[in-house]
Amino acid sequence: MIKAILIFNNHGKPRLIRFYQYFAEDMQQQIIRETFHLVSKRDDNVCNFLEGGSLIGGSDYKLIYRHYATLYFVFCVDSSESELGILDLIQVFVETLDKCFENVCELDLIFHMDKVHYILQEVVMGGMVLETNMNEIVAQVELQTRMEKSEGGLSAAPARAVSAVKNMNLPEIPRNINIGDINIKVPNLSPF
């Protein structure tokens, strides 16, 4: 399983982070720092695998990374993933980004962080590889973008009007969220 995907630049500035296993916020930042520290020290002519970080999962944990110009793409995986397979998955991901952004560069990742996330969601879902076929990934993302376009053009105005009306009483909203029709256990109401 893929535990985390980290993208940061040569200075260690995070550009995209996605954890598939829960870590507390400060732990996440620590992982990013440690990973950057490990990866940035390495020349480009050494191998793309690293082992034995102490933060995620201990010995059953590998870092597989690629360095493109100003960016590091790092996948933290456990032993059930194939090293070379993940290495090529990174390549697929980057090529897909390139296709979607046309000559992708760091700035694209900064300004369209959400879009990068959507592309990633089509490649990796919940820590498992979902799709490795670039064309398929692009097609899925484009399908969503088309929805975006149609909304922006045709239905933008009414939608905005509706949402404006909806949000008139905004502070009230949390209480109105309807959870009545499914069986929600009231948490921590033990009878003792």
Partner 1 sequence: MSDVVEKTLIALPSLLSLDSQLGAGKLSSTSKLGNLIRSITELTSKHEEEKLIKKELTALKEQVSSPNTTSRQMKEIMVRAIYCEMLGYEASFSYIHAIKLAQQGNGLEKRVGYLAVCLFLNESHDLLLLLVNTVLKDLQSTNLIDVCMALTVVSQIFPKDMIPAVLPLVEDKLTHSKEIIRRKAVLALYKFYLIAPNQVQHIHDKFRKALCDKDPGVMTASLHIYFQMIKENPDGFRELTASLVAILKQVVGGKLPVEFNYHSVPAPWLQIKLLRMLALLGKEDQSTSEMMFEVLDESLRRAELNHNITYAILFECVKTIYTIHPKSELLEKAAKCIGRFVLSPKINLKYLGLKALTYVVQQDPNLALQHQMTIIECLDHPDPIIKRETLELLYRITNGQNVSVIVQKMLDFLQQSKHGHTTIVLVGKVAELAEKYPFTHIAVVSVPIRLCTYAPDNGWFIQTMNTVFSLGGDDMQPEVPNNFLRLLAEGFDSAEEDRQLRLYAVDSYLSLLQTDTCHLPQRFLQVMSWVLGEFSFLKADLEPGLVLSRLASLLDQDLVTTETKSWVLAAMCKLCGGVVGEGVAGQVAAQFGGSLNTTLRQQAQELHVLSLDQALRSRVLPPHTSWDGLEVDSSLSFLDGFVSDALAQGAAPYKPPHQRQEELSQEKVLNLEPYGLALPVSLSTCSLMDRQSPTGFSLSSGLSGNSAELPHKGGSLKMDGVKRVWGKEGYLPQKEAAEEAPAMPSPPVPLTYRVAAARTRRWTPWPAPRPLGPDQEKQQLASSLFVGLGPQNQLCLLGKPDVAPQRFRRKTRPQDPEGGSDWLSVSSHSSHSTMDSLLDSSPTPLGEELNTTALLGEELNTAGFLREEPNAISPLGEGLNTADPMGEDPNTTRSLRETANGTTHLGEGLNAAGPLGEEPNPVSPQGKEPNTASPMGEEPNTASSQGPEDTLAFWSRAEGETEAPEASTMATDQPPTQADRLTPPPCATAELLEPHGSELLSLASDGSVDLSARKLYKGAALELQLYIRNTSSDQLQHVSLQLRSAELQVLDSPNQSFPLLGDHGAVTSRHSVVMETPLVQAIVGGAVTYHTQSGSANELGFSLRLTLADFLRPLPLSTEDYGKLWLSFNHDVKQNLQLLLDKEDPLSATLNILKEKLQFHLVEIIGTEGILACQLLPGHPCLLHCHAHSGTLTVWLRSPVPDLPDCLLYHCQRVLQER
Site for partner 1 in 15-34 (CB under 8 A): 16-18, 20, 22, 25-26, 28-29
- Least CB distance to partner 1 at residue 192 (A): 6
Residues 156-175 that bind partner 1 (CB under 8 A): 156, 159-160, 163-164, 166-171, 173-174
Cβ 7 vs Cβ 72: under 8 Å: yes
Nearer to partner 1, 29 or 40 (CB): 29
Name the maximum alpha-carbon separation found in the chain. Answer: 63
- Least CB distance to partner 1 at residue 118 (A): 7
Among 60, 107, 142, 154, binds partner 1 (CB under 8 A): 107
- Least CB distance to partner 1 at residue 126 (A): 4
CA–CA separation, 118 and 144 (whole Å): 9
Helices (H), the chain: 25-40, 83-101, 106-111, 113-123, 134-150, 156-166, 173-176
Among 98, 140, 141, 142, binds partner 1 (CB under 8 A): 140
Phi, psi angle pair for 67, to nearest 5°: -115, 115
44 binds partner 1 (CB under 8 A): no
Cβ 56 vs Cβ 4: under 8 Å: yes
Among 40, 49, 60, 142, binds partner 1 (CB under 8 A): 49
